[in-house]
Amino acid sequence: MSDKSDRRDFLVKLGLGAGVVGVGLQGVASLRSLVPNVSYDPPTTVKLGPPGDFPDGLKFLPDERLFVFREGKTFYAISAVCTHLGCTVRAEALPQPETAEVNGRPVRLTHRYLCPCHGSRYRGDGQNVSGPAPRPLAWYRLTVAPDDGQLVVDLADEVDRDFRLTVA
Ligand code: FES
């Protein structure tokens, strides 16, 4: 084979190689463009305010659709989102507090919940008792923000119904 033909072969291969690399890089760039640099999902952790702003008993937070309960230094949070089709349930105070056993531990119940859409009813700890709701109301993890001491709920972190946050 002549030097000229070797050189032509080399240049053809070089050209093909560059073309393949170029197409590959373009493919990677195209795929990368499908992944946004910024997330527009709402954050799942929300600051709710200083613990001292919560009265003993129940406080409803409409923006988070959340019931926050306080018993002295102890806090827990129950979702107000009906597990049937997502309407906001209403809390009704019980005429007399009741005690229910949740995970082997007695829990004092002061309210029950009623869904205005299709009539599902829930016990004070969120247990569904009647209507089309397929499961209990969610409980979410509460923590204290390390920077300013506010209560923080993580709406992506469901916890058992015996969860309690104790604030010093
Ligand atoms: S959305 Fe609550 S019962 Fe249907």
Domain boundaries, the chain: 1-35, 45-166
**Higher pLDDT, residue 128 or 15:** 128
At 81 the pLDDT is 98
- Residues of the chain with pLDDT > 90: what percent? 65
Given this model, what pLDDT does residue 89 score? 98
Contact 124, 110 (CB under 8 A): yes
CATH for 45-166 is 2.102.10.10
Q: How far is the CA of 125 from the centre of ligand 1 (A)?
A: 17
Q: What's the whole-model pTM score? A: 0.76
Q: Whose CA is nearest to atom 3 of ligand 1?
A: 118
Give the model's confidence band at 138: pLDDT under 50 very low, under 70 low, under 90 confident, else very high: very high
Beta carbon of 128 within 6 Å of any ligand 1 atom: no
Task: Answer whether residue 23 shows pLDDT above 80.
Answer: no
Indicate if ligand 1 lies below 6 Å from the C-beta of 135: no
In angstroms, the CA 66 to CA 20 distance is 55
